[in-house]
Amino acid sequence: MLRDFFIGLSENQLLNTAAQKYGLQLGAQQVVAGTNIAEMMESVKELNQAGISCTIDNLGEFVFEKSEAIKAKEQILAVVDAIREQQADAHISLKPSQLGLDIDYDFCKQQIKEIVDKASKDDIFVNMDMENYPRLESTLRLLDELKENGYTNIGTVLQAYFHRALDDTRKYHDTRIRLVKGAYKESSDVAYQDKQAIDANYIQIIEEHLLHGTYTSIATHDDKIIDHVKQFVKAHDIPLDQFEFQMLYGFRKDLQLSLANEGYRFCTYVPFGEDWYGYFMRRLAERPQNMNLMVKQVFNKKTNTMIGLAAGAFVLGRLTKRRK
């Protein structure tokens, strides 16, 4: 129920708009690397110095006008420039919906093509984040058509909770793929609902792409999954430069550094921007215990967790009322 609650909040446009007025005051500064490129790049530099690569996401949702999508594209192009100018060990993550997928497919494709083309000249990889099920086919179509146009610096995300995940993993053996469990609320017609089933499918697609794919990004904070991957690659003599672990900015920093120090390739997903609300709520939905991060930021560390949760709900309620 708590997961559904946070997913519902992430899809609330009124709350999204209201939350932007508060900057990152509701605890999101723990998991969002600033609101502008300069702030974000400082975080990227620190991670690079620790031997950690980054994938950068210019946050943005609820895009219904072409002007908004074009603005998002220009911001991402500026990130490409910043990566090149500062010689950062980083690449791009983007959401097709932010670039106009819900407005017009061809318009969105041209937007993404501009980004991929510019990034290719600087040998920068571009990853298209996978969103909810209604956008899955169109996102894969974008990937296929960009690859047909000759671009090799483009990939996407496959989500383990979808029944079709293994078939998609097999289809994209020749593509750099990020593998995740999945963060949206989906129908049982298309997605597994049971955690054990999702975990089992996640392990299956990880093994499939590690054995037969090109480069695999394994995005998880799950200790059991991480330990399984370590044992699997050792048992099958899979080179450490054929895959990487990924985690979200602000989460499990000690483990991120530990994996990097052990010699594993590691990449941190670094989100930034004023439109942080939907991203933040989905992170709470994925692991409700992440709420502790918000509680610790807003309240004294000795504050009882239940009091913090109640206060957090009160703040969100206040935001809703102010918009009415």
Q: Is 50 exceeded by the pLDDT of residue 319?
A: no
> Which candidate, 185, 155, 150, 151, places its Cα nearest to that of 168?
155
Inter-residue contact 262 to 240 (CB < 8 Å): no
* Per-residue pLDDT at 217: 98
Question: What does the pLDDT look like over 162-220, one tens digit per residue?
Answer: 999 999 999 999 999 999 999 888 999 999 999 999 999 999 999 999 999 999 999 99
Average the pLDDT over each of 26-40, 84-98, 121-135, 240-254 and give the range with the smallest value: 26-40
* Per-residue pLDDT at 197: 97
One-letter identity of residue 144? D
Question: What does the pLDDT look like over 45-103, one tens digit per residue?
Answer: 999 999 999 999 999 877 899 999 999 999 999 999 999 999 999 999 999 999 999 99
Q: Contacts for 143-146 with beta carbons within 8 Å, 24 or more apart?
A: 143/172, 143/175, 145/109, 146/109, 146/112, 146/113, 146/116
> Which candidate, 35, 45, 151, places its Cα nearest to that of 88?
45
* Per-residue pLDDT at 312: 47
Inter-residue contact 249 to 28 (CB < 8 Å): no
* Per-residue pLDDT at 309: 39
* Per-residue pLDDT at 61: 76
Mean pLDDT of the residues in the chain: 85
User: Domain 33-275, what fold?
Assistant: TIM Barrel (3.20.20)
Average the pLDDT over each of 271-275, 290-294, 314-318 and give the range with the smallest value: 314-318
* Per-residue pLDDT at 184: 84
* Per-residue pLDDT at 31: 80
Give me the catalytic one of 135, 176, 178, 282. 178
The domain spans of the chain are: 1-25+276-324, 33-275
Burial 90-115 (b: 16+ CB within 10 A, else e): bbbbbbbbbbbbbbeeeebbebbbeb
Q: Is 80 exceeded by the pLDDT of residue 295?
A: no
Give me the catalytic one of 57, 129, 199, 275. 129
* Stated pTM of the model: 0.82
Q: Is 129 a catalytic residue?
A: yes
